[in-house]
C-alpha cells in the first residue's frame, strides 16, 4: 500500500469512527461526509474518475444533506448524556462483521487484488457509457424504473400530507389546536441554561 | 504573430518552468496555473463589486460609490481593508470549529471549480476526461458549507437561511445538470476542452455554438436561471433576504469571514457563467471568422463580462420570488422543460440542422415552453387563502 493511500485509509477510518461516536448528531453527519469524500479520493487515486465525482455529487451533495435534514427535522434539544452505545449494539455489529467478511473474501479472491490501478486507468468515460448502454442496459433500466417509482411514490405521499395539513389548519382555526413546528432545531435557548 | 499573442501565457509558463530545477517542476507548474487563476478572478471580483454597485445605482436612479479614488474605482480596496481590520465577532455558544471551517470550505469549493474551466486555447489547469462532472461535484460541496455556516451560528435567522438555501440549491441543481445533458450528447464528451473544440468552426456566417440551436438556446437560459438560483442571487435570494432573515446563513459572520462568504459567492457566480460560456457560447472561440485573430482568452473574458453584466441587470430589475413560487418554478417548469430539451437535442441529431431540424426541435421546445408556462400562470379564480404558521 502506497503512502497516499495509507493517509486516505487513516482518514476514512478516523472519520467513520467519529461518525458513530460523537455526541452531536450533526457532527456525526459531517464526519460521515468526510468519510464519503475520502472514499471518493481513493477512487480518484485508483483512476476511476467517473466513480469518484459521482460519489461526491451523490453522497456528499445529496445523501449527507438528506441525513442532515432528517436530523434537524426529527430531533430537539441537546445531545443526550446517556451511553454512546445502545443495548442492542451486538446485532448491528454482527451484521457489519458478516458484510465485511463477505466483501473482504470477495476482494481477496479477485484477480484485481494486485494492481487495482491498471483497471481504472484503461477505462475512459466513453467506455463506461458504452458498457452501461450495452452490457448493463437491463440493470440500468430496472434501476431507472425503481427510481421513477420511488419519485412518484414520494410525490404521492407529499400530496396526501398536504391535504391532511389543510384539514388540520381548519381544525386548528376552529378548536385552537396547536400545530407542530415545521422546523425543529437542535439548539436550546441560551437564556434557559 | 497572431499565434504568439494567442499563446503568450502558455509560452510564458513553459519558459518559466525551464528555469526551475527538475525536482521542483511539478510544484512550480501547479503554482503557475493556480496563482494566475486566483489573481485574475480576485481582481475580477473587485471590479465586479464596483460594476455592480454602479450598475444597481444607475438602475435605481442614484450615483453609486463615487468617493474613493477616481469615479469610486478604489472602493473595493477600501472595502477590503475594512473587512481585514474589523473585529471578528464570534457569538457565545457558536460551534467554533464549524463556524471557522464554513467560509474556508465555501472558498475551496468555489475555487476547485475553476480547475476545469478553459480560459483560452490550451489554457486549462486540469483537462479532465469528466470535467463537467468535476465542476458539479465541486459545486455540490457548497451546500454542506452553507449548512455548516447556518447551523454553527446558533441563530434562528442563520439556520432558516441555511435551510432555505439548501432546499433551493437541491431543487435547482437538477435542472442545472439536466440542461447540460443536451450539450454533452451533442459534443459526445464531458471534457470541457472537448466541448469547446466541438463548437469551433463556422457554418456560413454563424459560429457553430450550441446556443444557436433550438435546444441549445433553451438550454442556455435554463442553465443561466438555475445557476442564478444556485448562486443565491436575486430574484432567487430568499436565503439571504435582508427584509426577512437579516442576512441569512451568514448573519453571525463579521470581518474577514464575511468577506470570504461574499468572495465565495461571487466566485461561484463567475464559475457558473464561465461554464455557461464553455457549454453554450463556444468558450474561447470568436463569434465571427474575420475576428479570429483576437486572442482566445480575450474572447472568453469578454463573454464573461457580458454575462456578469446580464446578471447585474437581472438583479437590479427583478423582484424576489416567494418560497412557493420558487419551488413551483423549479419542479413544474424548469425540470420538465429541461427533460423536453434533452429529447429535442436527441431529435436534432437525427433531423440535422436544416429546416426540418429547426421545425421539429423548435416547435417542440417552443410548444412545451408555452404549455408549461400556461400551467404555471396563476389561475383567475380567487380561492380562500390558507395561512400556515410555525408555532
Say what the pLDDT of residue A119 is.
Answer: 57
CA dihedral B328, B334, B340, B344 (to 10 degrees): 160
Chain A partners within 8 Å of B386 (Cβ) = 166, 169
Distance to chain A for B190, nearest Cα, Å: 8
The reported pTM is: 0.82
d(CA B115, CA B121): 15
Check CB contact under 8 Å for A185 and B166.
no
Chain B partners within 8 Å of A56 (Cβ) = 137-138, 140-141
d(CA B113, CA B136): 8
Q: Which fold has domain A1-79?
A: 1.20.120
Q: Is the pLDDT of residue B315 over 50?
A: yes
Say what the pLDDT of residue A76 is.
Answer: 61
Mean pLDDT estimate for chain A? 76
CA neighbor of A120 nearest in space, from A192, A46, A181: A46
Distance to chain A for B66, nearest Cα, Å: 42
| Residues 6+ away with beta carbon under 8 Å from B157 | B245, B246, B247, B248, B251
Overall average pLDDT of the B247-259 stretch: 83
Q: How many CB atoms lie within 10 A of CB B215?
A: 28
Say what the pLDDT of residue A122 is.
Answer: 58
Overall average pLDDT of the A24-28 stretch: 83
Say what the pLDDT of residue B308 is.
Answer: 92
Say what the pLDDT of residue A35 is.
Answer: 92
d(CA A6, CA B88): 38
Nearest-by-CA chain A residue for B132: A53
Overall average pLDDT of the B116-139 stretch: 86
Say what the pLDDT of residue A101 is.
Answer: 94
A178 touches B: beta carbon within 8 Å: yes
Q: What is the pLDDT of residues B81-110, one digit of tens each?
A: 888 888 888 888 888 888 888 899 988 888
B contact test, residue of A125, A128, A129, A133 with most B CBs within 10 A: A125
Say what the pLDDT of residue B281 is.
Answer: 87
Q: What is the pLDDT of residues A73-113, one digit of tens each?
A: 776 656 666 666 777 788 888 999 999 999 989 888 876 66
Overall average pLDDT of the B128-146 stretch: 87
Residue A117 banded pLDDT, cuts 50, 70, 90: low
Distance to chain B for A56, nearest Cα, Å: 6
Say what the pLDDT of residue A1 is.
Answer: 61
Question: Mean pLDDT lowest for which of A96-105, A151-160, B4-13, B330-339?
Answer: B4-13
More confident residue, B120 or B280: B280
Spatial contact of B213 and B273, defined as CB atoms under 8 Å apart: no
Say what the pLDDT of residue B222 is.
Answer: 92
CA max distance for chain B: 76
Q: Is the bond preceding residue B235 a cis peptide, omega within 30 degrees?
A: yes
Say what the pLDDT of residue A118 is.
Answer: 56
CA neighbor of B265 nearest in space, from B34, B49, B39: B49
Q: What is the pLDDT of residues B347-374, one digit of tens each?
A: 888 887 778 888 888 888 888 888 888 8
Check CB contact under 8 Å for B129 and A165.
no
Say what the pLDDT of residue A190 is.
Answer: 42
Residue B379 banded pLDDT, cuts 50, 70, 90: low
Chain B partners within 8 Å of A39 (Cβ) = none
A181 → closest Cβ in B147, B151, B390: B390
Question: Mean pLDDT lowest for which of B1-10, B208-217, B266-275, B327-336?
Answer: B1-10
For chain A, the domains span 1-79, 88-123, 136-175
CA neighbor of B202 nearest in space, from B374, B32, B353: B353
DSSP 8-state assignment for residue B60? T
Chain B partners within 8 Å of A30 (Cβ) = 98, 144, 148
Antiparallel, parallel or unpaired: β B206-207 and B202-203:
antiparallel
Spatial contact of B184 and B176, defined as CB atoms under 8 Å apart: no
Chain A partners within 8 Å of B128 (Cβ) = 49
B130 → closest Cβ in A53, A182, A185: A53
Residues 97-126 of A with CB under 8 A from B: 124-126
Say what the pLDDT of residue A181 is.
Answer: 46
CA A154 to chain centre: 18
Overall average pLDDT of the B177-199 stretch: 88
Q: Is the pLDDT of residue B286 over 60?
A: yes
For chain B, the domains span 93-376
Check CB contact under 8 Å for A185 and B156.
yes
> 3-state class of A184 per DSSP?
coil
Amino acid at each position: 500500500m502506497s503512502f497516499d493511500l495509507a493517509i486516505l485509509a487513516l482518514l476514512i477510518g478516523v472519520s467513520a469512527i467519529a461518525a458513530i461516536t460523537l455526541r452531536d448528531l450533526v457532527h456525526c453527519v459531517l464526519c460521515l461526509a468526510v468519510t464519503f469524500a475520502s472514499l471518493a479520493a481513493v477512487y480518484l487515486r485508483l483512476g476511476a474518475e467517473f466513480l469518484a465525482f459521482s460519489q461526491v455529487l451523490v453522497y456528499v451533495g445529496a445523501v449527507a444533506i438528506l441525513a442532515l435534514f432528517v436530523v434537524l427535522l426529527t430531533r430537539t434539544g441537546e445531545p443526550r448524556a446517556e451511553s454512546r452505545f445502545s443495548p442492542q449494539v451486538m446485532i448491528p455489529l454482527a451484521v457489519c462483521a458478516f458484510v465485511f467478511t463477505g466483501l473482504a473474501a470477495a476482494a481477496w479472491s479477485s484477480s484485481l487484488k494486485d494492481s487495482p490501478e491498471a483497471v481504472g486507468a484503461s477505462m475512459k468515460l466513453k467506455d463506461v457509457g458504452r458498457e452501461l448502454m450495452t452490457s448493463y442496459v437491463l440493470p440500468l433500466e430496472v434501476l431507472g424504473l425503481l427510481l421513477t417509482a420511488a419519485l412518484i411514490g414520494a410525490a404521492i405521499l407529499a400530496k396526501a400530507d398536504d391535504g391532511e395539513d389543510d384539514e388540520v389548519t381548519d381544525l386548528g382555526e376552529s378548536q385552537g389546536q396547536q400545530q407542530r413546528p415545521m422546523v425543529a432545531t437542535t439548539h436550546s435557548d441560551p437564556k434557559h441554561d | 504573430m497572431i499565434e504568439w499573442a494567442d499563446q503568450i501565457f502558455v509560452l510564458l509558463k513553459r519558459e518559466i518552468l525551464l528555469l526551475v530545477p527538475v525536482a521542483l517542476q511539478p510544484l512550480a507548474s501547479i503554482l503557475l496555473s493556480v496563482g494566475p487563476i486566483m489573481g485574475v478572478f480576485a481582481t475580477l471580483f473587485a471590479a465586479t463589486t464596483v460594476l455592480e454597485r454602479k450598475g444597481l445605482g444607475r438602475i435605481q436612479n442614484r450615483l453609486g460609490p463615487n468617493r474613493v479614488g477616481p469615479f469610486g474605482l478604489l472602493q473595493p480596496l477600501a472595502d477590503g481593508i475594512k473587512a481585514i481590520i474589523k473585529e471578528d465577532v464570534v457569538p457565545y455558544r457558536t460551534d467554533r470549529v464549524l463556524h471557522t471551517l464554513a467560509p474556508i470550505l465555501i472558498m475551496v469549493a468555489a475555487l476547485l471549480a475553476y480547475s476545469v474551466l478553459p480560459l483560452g486555447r490550451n489554457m486549462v489547469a486540469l483537462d479532465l476526461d469528466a470535467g463537467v462532472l468535476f465542476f458539479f461535484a465541486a459545486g455540490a460541496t457548497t451546500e454542506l458549507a452553507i449548512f455548516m455556516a447556518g447551523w454553527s451560528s446558533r441563530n434562528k435567522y442563520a439556520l432558516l437561511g441555511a435551510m432555505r438555501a439548501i432546499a433551493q440549491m437541491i431543487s435547482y441543481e437538477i435542472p442545472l445538470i439536466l440542461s447540460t445533458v443536451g450539450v454533452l450528447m451533442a459534443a459526445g464528451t464531458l471534457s470541457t476542452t472537448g466541448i469547446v473544440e466541438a463548437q469551433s468552426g463556422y457554418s456560413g456566417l454563424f459560429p457553430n455554438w450550441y446556443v444557436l440551436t433550438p435546444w441549445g438556446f433553451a438550454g442556455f437560459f435554463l442553465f443561466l436561471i438555475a445557476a442564478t438560483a444556485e448562486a443565491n442571487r436575486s430574484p432567487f435570494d430568499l436565503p439571504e433576504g435582508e427584509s426577512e432573515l437579516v442576512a441569512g446563513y451568514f448573519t453571525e459572520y463579521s470581518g474577514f469571514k464575511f468577506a470570504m462568504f461574499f468572495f465565495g459567492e461571487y466566485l461561484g457566480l463567475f464559475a457558473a457563467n464561465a461554464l455557461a460560456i464553455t457549454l453554450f457560447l463556444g468558450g474561447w472561440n470568436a463569434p465571427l471568422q474575420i475576428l479570429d485573430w483576437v486572442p482566445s482568452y480575450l474572447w472568453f473574458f469578454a463573454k464573461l463580462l457580458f454575462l456578469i453584466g446580464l446578471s447585474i441587470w437581472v438583479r437590479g430589475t427583478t423582484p424576489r420570488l416567494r418560497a412557493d413560487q420558487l419551488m413551483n418554478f423549479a419542479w413544474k417548469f424548469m425540470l420538465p422543460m429541461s427533460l423536453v430539451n434533452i429529447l429535442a437535442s436527441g431529435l436534432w441529431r437525427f433531423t440535422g440542422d436544416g429546416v426540418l431540424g429547426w421545425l421539429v426541435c423548435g416547435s417542440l421546445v417552443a410548444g412545451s415552453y408555452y404549455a408549461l408556462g400556461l400551467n404555471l400562470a396563476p389561475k383567475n379564480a380567487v380561492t380562500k387563502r390558507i395561512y400556515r404558521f410555525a408555532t
